[in-house]
């Protein structure tokens, strides 16, 4: 079986470039006992992938010349593993490639009766919808009437986080870059207000959108935006650190917030998390999200790039702000 795979050619210095990656042909070896042959249907383009390009990364370090790490959904072409059969849909760490030969034990069989398999990368995705739900419901513990601000709100996690907070009774303000994304947040995601960080006076825009201050900040960006928000938090505010996309291309020189003293001054909290902390709650989280999706209360628009050759472009697009909703590649 022939496959095409995206490999890391160089460890990026600063901004990620498409030329840091390349696409190569590979001949897959015959299946061994316990393995399955997969045809990849959709690959999730996630910010954490960039961190794996650096040495000592939290999610593991990508090897030069090896397939780039990526979560994906796939169809079983052949199986030597009990429990997975030809035609089954699966989710797992399939890598950025068109086909894969993997141990069946590391894959999750998907039930496609309610939602398409690719939803396991989006609204039901571990790194997307489930992360958003865990951060809002479990970490921030949203209450009716809270004023919630979400950064990178037009991205996949941000889009879900805004809607989770709304469904839990909050007033939600999304921060994104550009008028098109502000319109998206207001008209497709249902935010109560949208703030354009590319326009003038972000602090003033935020103050106008949240005149009574901020109860919860769900941060996906870090950097300057985090500092500006900290100056406007309320007493006992909850700052939830989900990600810091502004810092992922400088992991050797991460800049922390200069206004962090507002946390003790306001008797507030700042908590970081990964969704893995709530592994015992995965079934509960998936059930809640599925109920909202089927009821029309949670919608995650998708942007799907066609062809494995588009993966390097899609990954760099994630950091340039060139997409809205869930970004995927269909190999």
Task: Determine the pLDDT at residue 260.
Answer: 93
Average pLDDT, the chain: 93
> What stretches of 73-195 show up as alpha helix (H) in DSSP?
129-133, 156-167, 179-184
Average pLDDT over residues 291-299: 96
Average pLDDT over residues 201-219: 97
Tell whether the model's pLDDT for residue 25 goes beyond 90. yes
- CATH fold of the domain at 129-277: Rossmann fold (3.40.50)
State CA 190 to chain mean position distance: 19
Would you say 218 and 165 are in contact if contact means Cβ atoms under 8 Å apart? yes
Task: Determine the pLDDT at residue 249.
Answer: 58
Task: Determine the pLDDT at residue 13.
Answer: 83
Task: Determine the pLDDT at residue 67.
Answer: 87
CA distance 329 to 331: 6
Task: Determine the pLDDT at residue 15.
Answer: 85
> What stretches of 106-258 show up as alpha helix (H) in DSSP?
129-133, 156-167, 179-184, 202-209, 223-230
Task: Determine the pLDDT at residue 253.
Answer: 66
Would you say 104 and 110 are in contact if contact means Cβ atoms under 8 Å apart? no
Domain 2-122+300-330 identical in fold to domain 129-277:
no
Residue pLDDT, tens place only, 91-148: 999 999 999 999 999 999 999 998 999 999 999 999 999 999 999 999 999 999 999 9
Element at 43 (helix H, strand E): strand 35-44
**Cβ neighbours, 10 Å, residue 254:** 12
Tell whether the model's pLDDT for residue 254 goes beyond 90. no
State CA 243 to chain mean position distance: 9
3 state DSSP class of 214: strand
Tell whether the model's pLDDT for residue 328 goes beyond 80. yes
DSSP structure class, residue 296: T
What dotted CATH number matches 2-122+300-330?
3.90.180.10
Show me where the domains of the chain are located.
Answer: 2-122+300-330, 129-277
What is the end-to-end Cα distance of the chain in Å, rounded? 15
């Amino acid at each position: 079986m022939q496959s095409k795979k995206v490999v890391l050619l160089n460890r990026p210095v600063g901004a990620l470039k498409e030329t840091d990656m390349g696409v190569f042909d590979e001949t897959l070896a015959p299946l061994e006992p316990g393995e399955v042959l997969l045809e990849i249907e959709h690959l999730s383009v996630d910010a954490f992938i960039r961190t794996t390009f650096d040495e000592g990364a939290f999610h593991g370090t990508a090897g030069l010349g090896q397939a780039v790490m990526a979560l994906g959904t796939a169809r079983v072409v052949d199986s030597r593993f009990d429990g997975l059969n030809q035609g089954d849909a699966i989710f797992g760490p399939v890598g950025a490639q068109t086909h894969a030969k993997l141990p069946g034990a590391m894959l999750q069989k998907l039930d496609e009766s309610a939602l398409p398999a690719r939803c396991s990368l989006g609204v039901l995705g571990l790194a997307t919808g489930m992360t958003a739900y865990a951060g809002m419901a479990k970490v921030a513990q949203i209450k009716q009437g809270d004023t919630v601000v979400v950064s990178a709100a037009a991205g996949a996690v941000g889009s879900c986080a805004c809607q989770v907070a709304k469904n839990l009774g909050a007033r939600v303000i999304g921060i994104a870059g550009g008028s098109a994304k502000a319109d998206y947040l207001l008209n497709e995601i249902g935010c109560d207000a949208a703030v354009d960080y590319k326009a003038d006076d972000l602090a003033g825009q935020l103050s106008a959108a949240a005149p009574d201050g901020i109860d919860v900040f769900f941060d996906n960006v870090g950097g300057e935006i985090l500092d500006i928000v900290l100056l406007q938090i309320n007493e006992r505010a909850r700052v939830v650190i989900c990600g810091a996309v502004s810092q992922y291309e400088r992991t050797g020189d991460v800049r922390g917030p200069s206004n962090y003293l507002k946390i003790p001054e306001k008797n507030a909290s700042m908590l970081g998390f990964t969704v893995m902390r709530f592994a015992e709650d995965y079934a509960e989280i998936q059930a809640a999200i599925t109920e909202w999706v089927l009821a029309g209360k949670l919608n995650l628009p998708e942007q799907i790039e066609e062809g494995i050759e588009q993966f390097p472009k899609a990954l760099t697009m994630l950091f340039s702000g060139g997409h809205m909703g869930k970004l995927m590649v269909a190999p």
